């Protein structure tokens, strides 16, 4: 018996989907519900309760209760009661409960494949923690971004006749059909546009999906709607006794925490009721009278952020080079998509009536399993979607811990190892997920990265080597060549993201990682070698020029934490190619990488020049790239 499981670890709730012996995935019912609460309770004896068990225990001591562990992902440790716990252990408890419920459905068999979803803006630090939390829960683990999973589910489901009962939009099966997906989750908003690809041939799997654009907003979600409604309730009842209200929402006594927990549950229930009815009442503890709230109240509270989410969707459609009327459909997923105002705003903005399915909060989990099983090769294009096999022997290719690539994805044969492994970050930080250049497609699922509010890893990133991988990437690479004139240097200008640079005319692009906003160029005569120049964009949460010392400190910390390679040089103020930069050097067994970090405002560009066999050519190209580098605002 084979068991494949997908877990959508959400801010407020977690969805689990299981496929037994290759059958159609089904949602695992836990505690009588299709969703498992993501809440965790740390008992004094060390037991971690998850889901409704945690919510019941919270009545005993709310200080030991964490309702939204996903939002604490960057904190490293949590204080629950008098117990300090690693965030890793808290997340593992949720995943372990989810997997245990799936195994119970399948009679206790081991999990062959575990697919975990994550926000599109999560970078390597967060996704690494997610992988570690899944350690030994399955033979193989893969990661898929949430908006990609949602897009794949809708595209795959509606393009297929296997699940006809779920169809609300008729897909003709023609190549080029395109859909947009707006995912309103508990903690994030994501929008993506995908296009169907042709089937691979008679009797083969269904065609894959290409992501044309994807964008995310990690600053708003269902939990924020709950908070806004709670504050509105406070404005209705607090005048009766302002001191008692402050005590209720801020008090630290055990009684206050218990009352506050119940109030938040009632407010969340009121929000869900207002998705179906025009009004409801929120029961209040003494001395307050029950609060009467209406759908009109809720819509007034969330009109601005929901409007921003719809604008995000429109911007993503535009970034894909499309108009809303050119789409086959716009799908709404995530629990907050049930709010009627969402559909109305989408219709008003796009003139397209959006579509949603029953249980939209389960779409991401169902799509995640499809993304790997239906289209494993394209999942392999995902940075951060590599499979890991806890406790299992690894092939020589798998043992390259500094490479993430298609060879690690379940059911895909290992790719040949490169002659020289690329430079590796000690803790990779990826950029915020933004849409690719207008009209330029990206293979599904796309790499994702960023981790918004936490500090991102900036200075070092993957530089890809290996003949086989380069051939694939060269075919899929996206390149804009601009004619040069005037006093511009001879060469080829690359302008894909918020930067442009000119490389020597005999250098060619071999890699374009949209999700990491990274471009890699190599000498045309040595495209299969390890000599290269890589340029990558990062978005800082602060002004890197004004807070130069902070940027330097964070880069130093990352370098000092790296133990695999030597970093003999680090200069905080370095002059190179006519411009100021932070410079450091990375020494590997068979290559040396010179890193130049250039900053303008909140935009950071890192240029990595890897010298292996033709150092003079690399040095010349590196100088030209840095000298011509322009940050576009």
| Inside any domain, residue 394 | no
Pair 335, 420 in one domain: no
Pair 157, 287 in one domain: yes
Give me the pLDDT at residue 541, please: 80
Q: How many CA atoms lie within 13 A of 281 on its CB side?
A: 6
Pair 333, 421 in one domain: no
Whole-angstrom distance, CA of residue 295 vs CA of residue 299? 6
CATH no. for residue 464? 3.40.1000.10
Pair 327, 424 in one domain: no
Give me the pLDDT at residue 176, please: 54
Give me the pLDDT at residue 209, please: 62
CATH no. for residue 350? 3.30.420.40
Give me the pLDDT at residue 359, please: 76
CA distances from 374 to 15, 16, 103, 326, 412 (A): 20, 18, 22, 26, 12
Give me the pLDDT at residue 32, please: 83
Pair 123, 226 in one domain: yes
| Inside any domain, residue 525 | yes
Whole-angstrom distance, CA of residue 566 vs CA of residue 556? 13
Domain ranges, residue 421: 415-429+458-631
Q: Does 558 score more than 50 pLDDT? A: yes
Pair 367, 483 in one domain: no
CB atoms near residue 48 (< 10 Å): 22
| Inside any domain, residue 407 | no
Q: How confident is the model at residue 338 (pLDDT cuts 50, 70, 90)?
A: confident
Give me the pLDDT at residue 9, please: 93
Give me the pLDDT at residue 439, please: 33
DSSP-derived letter for residue 30 is B
Number of domains in the chain: 2
Pair 201, 335 in one domain: yes
Percent of the chain with pLDDT over 70: 73
Summarised one tens digit per residue, pLDDT across range 368-419 is 888 775 444 333 333 223 222 222 222 322 322 222 222 222 222 223 333 3
The more confident residue out of 600 and 212 is 600
Q: Does 486 score more than 90 pLDDT? A: no
Averaged over 429-455, what is the pLDDT?
33
| Inside any domain, residue 31 | yes
CA 443 to chain centroid: 16
Pair 102, 3 in one domain: yes
| Inside any domain, residue 552 | yes
Contact (Cβ atoms closer than 8 angstroms) between residue 228 and residue 256: no
| Inside any domain, residue 510 | yes
Give me the pLDDT at residue 382, please: 31
Averaged over 579-596, what is the pLDDT?
92
Whole-angstrom distance, CA of residue 70 vs CA of residue 187? 9
Give me the pLDDT at residue 197, please: 66
Dihedral sign computed on CA atoms, order 185, 433, 6, 402: negative
**34-43, 93-102, 252-261, 464-473, range with the lowest pLDDT:** 464-473
Give me the pLDDT at residue 584, please: 94
Tokens of 130: 């997610």
Contact (Cβ atoms closer than 8 angstroms) between residue 475 and residue 508: no
| Inside any domain, residue 410 | no
Q: How confident is the model at residue 260 (pLDDT cuts 50, 70, 90)?
A: confident
Whole-angstrom distance, CA of residue 22 vs CA of residue 553? 50
Pair 326, 468 in one domain: no
Q: Does 488 score more than 50 pLDDT? A: no
Averaged over 191-198, what is the pLDDT?
76
Pair 472, 367 in one domain: no
Q: Does 210 score more than 50 pLDDT? A: yes
Q: How confident is the model at residue 528 (pLDDT cuts 50, 70, 90)?
A: confident
Give me the pLDDT at residue 628, please: 94
| Peptide bond just before 474 cis, omega within 30 deg | no
Which of 288-302 are b and which e, b meaning 16 or more Cβ less than 10 Å from the residue's Cβ? beebebebebbbebb
Pair 421, 317 in one domain: no
Q: Please tell me whether residue 159 adopts helix, strand or coil conformation.
A: coil
Summarised one tens digit per residue, pLDDT across range 137-174 is 998 888 888 877 877 787 666 544 333 333 334 434 44
CB atoms near residue 229 (< 10 Å): 23
Summarised one tens digit per residue, pLDDT across range 15-30 is 999 999 888 888 999 9
Summarised one tens digit per residue, pLDDT across range 261-302 is 889 889 989 998 998 899 999 999 999 999 999 999 999 999
Averaged over 495-508, what is the pLDDT?
84
Tokens of 226: 């709950």
Pair 170, 248 in one domain: yes
- What does the mean pLDDT of the chain come to? 75
Contact (Cβ atoms closer than 8 angstroms) between residue 130 and residue 9: yes
Q: Please tell me whether residue 1 adopts helix, strand or coil conformation.
A: coil
Summarised one tens digit per residue, pLDDT across range 87-146 is 999 999 999 999 999 999 888 999 999 999 987 767 778 888 998 999 889 988 888 888
User: What's the pTM value of the predicted model, to 2 decimals?
Assistant: 0.54
| Inside any domain, residue 441 | no
Contact (Cβ atoms closer than 8 angstroms) between residue 149 and residue 117: yes
């Amino acid at each position: 018996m084979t068991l494949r499981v997908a877990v959508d670890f959400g801010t407020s709730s977690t969805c689990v989907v299981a496929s037994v012996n290759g059958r159609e995935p089904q949602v695992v019912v836990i505690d009588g519900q299709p969703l498992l609460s993501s809440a965790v309770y740390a008992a004094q004896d060390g037991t971690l309760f998850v889901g409704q068990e945690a919510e019941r225990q919270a009545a005993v001591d709310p200080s030991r209760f964490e309702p939204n562990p996903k939002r604490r992902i960057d904190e490293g440790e949590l204080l629950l009661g008098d117990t300090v716990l690693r965030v890793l252990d808290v997340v593992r408890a949720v995943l372990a409960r989810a997997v245990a419920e799936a195994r119970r459905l399948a009679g206790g068999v081991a999990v062959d494949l575990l697919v975990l979803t994550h926000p599109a803006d999560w970078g390597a630090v967060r996704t690494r923690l997610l992988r570690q939390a899944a350690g030994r829960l399955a033979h193989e683990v893969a990661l898929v971004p949430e908006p990609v999973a949602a897009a794949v589910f809708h595209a795959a489901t509606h393009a297929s006749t296997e699940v006809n009962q779920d169809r609300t939009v008729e897909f003709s099966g023609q190549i080029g059909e395109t859909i947009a997906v707006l995912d309103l989750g508990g903690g994030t908003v994501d929008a993506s546009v995908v296009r169907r690809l042709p089937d691979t041939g008679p009797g083969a799997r269904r065609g894959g999906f290409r992501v044309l654009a994807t964008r995310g907003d990690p600053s708003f979600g269902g939990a924020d709607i709950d908070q806004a409604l709670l504050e509105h309730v406070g404005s209705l009842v607090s005048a009766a006794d302002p001191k008692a209200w402050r005590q209720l929402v801020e008090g630290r006594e055990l009684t206050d925490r218990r009352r506050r927990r119940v109030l938040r549950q009632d407010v969340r229930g009121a929000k869900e009721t207002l998705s179906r009815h025009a009004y409801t009442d929120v029961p209040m503890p003494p001395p307050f009278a029950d609060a009467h709230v209406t759908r009109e109240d809720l819509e007034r509270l969330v009109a601005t952020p929901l409007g921003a989410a719809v604008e995000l969707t429109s911007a993503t459609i535009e970034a894909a080079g499309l108009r809303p009327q050119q789409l086959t459909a716009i799908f709404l997923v995530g629990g907050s998509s049930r709010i009627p105002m969402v559909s109305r705003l989408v219709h008003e903005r796009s003139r397209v009536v959006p579509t949603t399915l029953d249980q939209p909060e389960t779409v991401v989990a169902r799509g995640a399993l499809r993304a790997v099983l239906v289209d494993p090769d394209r999942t392999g294009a995902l940075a951060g979607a590599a499979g890991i096999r806890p406790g299992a022997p690894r092939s020589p290719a798998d043992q390259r811990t500094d490479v993430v690539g298609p060879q690690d994805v379940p059911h895909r044969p290992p790719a040949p190892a490169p002659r020289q492994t690329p430079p590796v970050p000690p803790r990779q930080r990826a950029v915020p997920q933004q849409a690719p250049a207008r009209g330029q497609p990206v293979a599904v699922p796309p790499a994702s990265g960023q981790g918004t509010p936490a500090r991102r890893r900036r200075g070092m990133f993957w530089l890809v080597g290996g003949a086989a991988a380069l051939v694939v990437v060269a075919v899929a690479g996206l390149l804009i060549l601009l004619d040069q004139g005037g006093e511009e240097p001879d060469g080829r200008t690359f302008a894909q993201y918020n930067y442009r640079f000119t490389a020597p005319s005999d250098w060619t692009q071999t890699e374009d990682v949209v999700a990491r906003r990274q471009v890699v160029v190599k000498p045309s005569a040595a495209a299969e070698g390890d000599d290269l120049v890589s340029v990558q964009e990062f978005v800082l949460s602060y002004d890197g020029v004004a807070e130069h010392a902070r940027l330097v400190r964070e880069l130093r910390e990352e370098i000092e934490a790296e133990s695999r390679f030597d970093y003999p040089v680090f200069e905080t103020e370095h002059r190179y190619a006519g411009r100021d930069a932070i410079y450091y050097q990375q020494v590997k067994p068979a290559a040396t990488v010179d890193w130049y970090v250039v900053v303008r405002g909140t935009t950071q560009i890192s240029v990595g020049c890897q010298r292996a066999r033709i150092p003079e050519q690399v040095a010349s190209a590196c100088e030209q790239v840095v000298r011509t580098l322009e940050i576009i605002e």
